[in-house]
């Protein structure tokens, strides 16, 4: 993944980049998703992933999201999920990526 590590600057402190994820995230749209995530990562700020519209997501998209989250975290920033859909939560659980995607607290909350 070509998302580069950058040091954050004080000018970008306390800002958040919003990324709204589309309904269907599969191999057919992975290029567009990668571009969108790369732009967010390049801003060197925390990222809010809005995932309430996701109806289907395949392994390629889950893996890309995982790599993106690792990149953002490695640069000292956080990724927060906003209203992850049931489809996302189920797909993450089936693929074993719940923890890697940072969805475990949401999964645990929804299970109780």
CATH number at residue 53: 3.30.750.24
Cβ(63)–Cβ(34) below 8 Å: no
Residue 59 within any structural domain of the chain: yes
Residue 1 within any structural domain of the chain: no
Residue 89 within any structural domain of the chain: yes
Residue 54 within any structural domain of the chain: yes
If residue 65 lies in a helix (H) or strand (E), which one and from where to where? Answer: helix 59-74
Residue 7 within any structural domain of the chain: no
pTM of the model: 0.84
Q: What is the pLDDT of residue 10?
A: 39
Pairing of strands 56-57, 24-25: parallel
Residue 3 within any structural domain of the chain: no
Question: What letter does residue 5 receive in the DSSP assignment?
Answer: P
Q: What is the pLDDT of residue 105?
A: 85
Domain region containing 58: 16-111
Cβ(57)–Cβ(85) below 8 Å: no
Q: What is the pLDDT of residue 106?
A: 84
Which segments in the chain show pLDDT lower than 50? 1, 5-12
The pLDDT mean for the chain works out to 89
Residue 2 within any structural domain of the chain: no
């Amino acid at each position: 993944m070509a998302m580069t590590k950058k040091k954050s600057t004080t000018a970008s402190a306390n800002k958040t980049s919003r990324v709204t994820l589309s309904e269907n995230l599969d191999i057919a749209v992975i290029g567009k998703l990668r571009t969108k995530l790369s732009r967010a990562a390049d801003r060197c700020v925390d990222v809010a992933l809005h995932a309430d519209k996701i109806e289907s997501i395949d392994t390629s998209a889950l893996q890309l999201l995982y790599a993106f989250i690792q990149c953002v975290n490695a640069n000292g920033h956080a990724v927060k999920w906003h209203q992850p859909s049931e489809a996302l939560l189920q797909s993450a659980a089936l693929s074993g990526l719940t923890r890697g995607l940072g969805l475990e607290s949401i999964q645990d909350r929804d299970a109780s």
